[in-house]
A and B are shown apart, each in its own frame.
Chain A
Amino acid sequence: MKMLVRAISCAPAFLLCMGGATQENASRISASFSDPSSPGLLHVALVNGSISIKGSESRDVVIGTRAVHLGAPKQDQKGPAVMQELPQQSSIAVVEQSNRMSIAAANPSITTDLEIQVPNRTSVQLSTVNEGDIRVEDFDGELDVGSVNGAITLSHVGGSVLAHTVNRPIVATIWRVSADKPMAFTSLNGLVDVTLPSATKANLKLRTDNGSIYTDFKLGSLTGPSPSAEYAGKDGPLLRMEIHKTAIGTLNGGGPEIEIRTFNGNVYVRKGK
């Protein structure tokens, strides 16, 4: 009889879970940090889907989910006729505590495309794996952005940036660089194209293993790829020859480190305004 008891106890929970909904439009919801006067931290993690961030002067985070697009009809195996399969609308969960807000998809298997307006000066952490890119525009704050199979595009962002993807390019246009904060833009199988303010003070570390490095900056104290040697091996001294492919140079006299690196692809460092 345990089955009976369990099933009944499940029923009210199910109804509670599904009930209590307000008539707020689920495709655009607003969430607040508990202390909007202080910079918050926003963490967004998706397995399947894209993230689009736009900076705003509002105090709230506004989250939009893209409307479903109907597909073509197809033969239903169980039904009596040709049926149209409808895409499933993504469902998201937003949790906020102590000025730290996280956004995640309730069902990771459903592709979820998020368009989020974020207050400037927020620390933003974004991650995706499949089925979507990461795009940030007109944002001023701290960015920590990672993807596996998505491209990263940062347009007119200010602050500090850590950006990494595995199989797609990174294109970033930075209009303001935070003083004393290191930055990194790294890919494995995509080009990396970064535009920095012309007055940026930084120590640049640039590298590609299968590609070329291009820049219109004048780099000071440039040290190019050079051979080095070190000893290794437990059965006796062995001379290991390693060619460092990292180009190191200073911008405007030097400053915090900015690493721009890929394995397969070109590296571009452009001078902005």
Chain B
Amino acid sequence: MNRTILFMVLCSSAGFSAAVNAGDLTEHSSQKLTMHFAGSGAHTLEVRDVEGNITVEAYDGTDVEMTVEKSLSAQNEEEMRAARHDVVLDIGDSASTIHAIVRYPNQQTCGGAGGFTSHSGYHARYDFTIRLPRTVRLQLCTINSGVVLVSGTTGDFDVSNVNGRIAMTDVAGSGNAVTVNGAVAASFVSAPQRSSTFRTINGDVAITLPDSTSAVFHMKTLNGHLLTDFAVESEPESAGVVRESVGGLSMIRTNGFTTVRTGDGGPELTLESLNGDVRVMRRSK
């Protein structure tokens, strides 16, 4: 554990500071961390939040500079004590992966397979603001009341949200950006070199790529439009067929993606919404 805590403020404001709901107790704290990678292999930043924003910005340094704003709100003092005791920010560095993971007792962390059931008596919000080396791989996850913002990174990415949008600006690399309720927007300075997915249920999906991009786009929406200003040609759909069998009933579903190619084709980029438009735009425009 080689991190340096530069600054920490704990502000207890029972009954006085602005509360989420009338009668709530709130408590705020902030900490600033500088963390270091170890090893010469690929470096990864893993942030798993439950409630709050994750903002990541690339810079030309070697360390990860992380500011964490923690906000607790509770119905009463007993719940506030429970919040302080239950919710833990697990931080680790001096390894190839630097992580900051919000943990609740007996709960999956963000991205876990078992889902998450929140405590009814308190909220624990963590807002992360991070500066990191440009090439670091990203694993970012939040669930509620937060957005995920990424700018300037060139490493691969795995970014997920549930109730909030994802915005990636001037990035490179390949990966997945998936949310449920919110838009997904990503602008690339160089196109993904491997298969990548951009998906939401409620919101627009928009990616911006260099004009010279060669790729295959699989695009789909239920209530919205599929739009591009790239010169594209239709491709046979190959995004897949789902076959299921239960008892004596068998079911086949086609995924219904519109597949087009730009340039000579290449990495398969999947863009999907249920209620929203899907756009693939040229960067020069």
Contact = CB atoms under 8 A, between A and B. Distances in A.
Given A1-B120, A84-B227, A89 B237 contact: yes
Interface string B229-255: 100111011111111000011111111
A58 interface: no
Contact of A87 (B204, B233, B258, B281): B258
A98 interface: yes
Nearest to B123: A1
A21 B120 contact: no
Contact of B257 (A10, A34, A79, A89): A89
A86 B235 CA distance: 12
A107 B143 contact: no
A79 B256 contact: no
Nearest to B160: A11
Contacts of B228: 83-84, 86
A269 interface: no
B34 interface: no
A98 to B, nearest CB: 7
Nearest to B241: A24
B32 interface: no
Interface in A1-59: 1, 3-5, 7-12, 14-15, 18, 20-27, 29, 31, 34
Contact of B251 (A67, A85, A95): A95
Nearest to A10: B180
Contacts of A83: 227-229, 279, 281
Interface string A198-236: 000000000000000000000000000000000000000
B281 A81 contact: yes
Given A88-B256, A91-B254, A26 B237 contact: yes
A26 B250 contact: no
B250 A84 contact: no
B24 interface: no
Contacts of A70: 232-234, 260
A21 B252 contact: no
B165 to A, nearest CB: 14
A97 B250 contact: yes
A162 interface: no
B226 A86 contact: yes
B251 A93 contact: yes
A107 B222 contact: yes
Contacts of A5: 115-118
A65 B234 CA distance: 14
Select the residue from B118, B237, B251, B255 with max chain A CB neighbours within 10 A: B237
A69 B272 CA distance: 19
Given A3-B163, A4-B116, A70-B232, A21 B241 contact: yes
B138 interface: no
B49 interface: no
A34 B248 contact: yes
B285 A80 contact: yes
Interface of A: 1, 3-5, 7-12, 14-15, 18, 20-27, 29, 31, 34, 65, 67-70, 73, 76, 78-98, 106-107, 110
20 contacts: A5-B115, A5-B116, A7-B180, A9-B115, A14-B180, A21-B255, A22-B240, A22-B243, A24-B241, A26-B239, A31-B250, A67-B237, A82-B229, A83-B228, A86-B219, A86-B226, A86-B227, A90-B256, A96-B249, A97-B249
